Structure formats: structure tokens, C-alpha cells
Amino acid sequence: MNTDQNSSNNNSSVRPQTESSRAGRELAGSDRVNRSLPPETISRLIHTALDARRFSYAPYSHYCVGAAVLTEDGTVFDGCNIENASYGATICAERTAIFTAVRKGHRRLIALALAAAPEGVEPSAIRDYPSPCGICRQVMREFADPSGFKVILAKSPEDYRILTLTELLPESFGPSFLQEQADTGAEQ
């Protein structure tokens, strides 16, 4: 069951106007609000996340996760969770994907798909939709407009939920807070 289907409203491009986006210090919320993801983009992201999940290194939790992030120019980067015997060195699939995107020069993110299930279990078989941890939500916040950024919680390409980052991380702290402080200081 898709709770955010947009079959009747799929004529808007996922790609923002690059020049206007770059003009602002931070993307205006209205630039991304209600911007629906085309069904083919949703499918591509979910398929990519499911494929990335196959590379999960999770010998401790045995919980395998894949993620795919869409950048504003349409490029997709994927990631899987990579655990470590020193547990704190573990990184989630979402951050693996996002950090790869940033490493490649992409700092404006549009959407992220997430697929997860215990080792040996297909994501389509799990009871609940996957959900990103708090640290990953904060990392998304760094590179996305929270009201427009779509997080696709996928069991399969046919079964997913879509939430905005604002819904996942309300009243969030982000880069603009520091910039506003700097602006205020400059005026004094």
C-alpha cells in the first residue's frame, strides 16, 4: 500500500531549477513543498537501495540496510550499512550514500530511499516500514530542504511510504541557524 502515491500529480519534474536554487543561501521551502516524485524516480531509488543492501556488512546486528539518495541534478548514489567490531565505528546505509554524494560534489539532496530487513529476510517480508535513525535524519538535514526532502521507506518497489524530512525531524536544527547568528553578529 502506497500512502503517498502521486499518479494523478506526476507531471512535475524532480529536478529543481538549478540556477535559482543556487541563488539562495538555503533553498526556500516553497521551492520543494508539494514537489512530487515521479513514479519512475521512486522505483529507481527503491531498486537501487535494494541492490545496495546486498552489500551490507552487518556481522553484529545481522540487520541489513540499503539506501539510495537522489541529488538535485538527478544523480543517484547508494550506500549500505557497514558495521565494525568497535561498534561506534559503524555507519548507516543512509550516511554512506549521503557522504558519497557529498564526496562527489553533490550538496543538494532531493530524496532518499531506504530498504532494510534482518539478514536472510526480504524487506518485503518485514512487518513495519524501515525508518532512519536520528543521526541519519540530522545528516539529511544538513544537505536538504527539510520540508521538501522525501524519505521513501520501502519494503519493495510496490510497497512503500513517503515522508518529508520535516515529518521525520520536526523543529530541526540546521545550517541556517549558524548563518543567522553570523548575520546578526555582522550587523552589530
In 54-66, which positions are buried (b, 16+ CB within 10 angstroms) versus exposed (e)? eebebeeeeebbb
Is 94 an active-site residue? yes
User: Residue 2: helix, strand or coil by DSSP?
Assistant: coil
Q: Of 112, 117, 136, 151, which one interacts with Zn ion (CB under 5 A)?
A: 136
Options 94, 119, 122, 158, the catalytic residue: 94
Of the listed pieces 21-29, 84-92, 142-150, 155-163, which binds Zn ion according to CB under 5 A?
84-92
Strands laid side by side in the 76-80 sheet = 76-80, 63-71, 109-118, 150-156, 159-164
**151 contacts Zn ion (rule: CB under 5 A):** no
Of the listed pieces 117-125, 132-140, 151-159, 180-188, which binds Zn ion according to CB under 5 A?
132-140
Q: Of 42, 76, 92, 162, which one interacts with Zn ion (CB under 5 A)?
A: 92
Q: How many residues bind Zn ion (CB under 5 A)?
A: 3
Q: How far is residue 185's CA from residue 120's CA, in Å, rounded to a whole number? A: 54
**Grid coordinates belonging to 15:** 529536478
**70 contacts Zn ion (rule: CB under 5 A):** no
Return the active site residues. Answer: 94
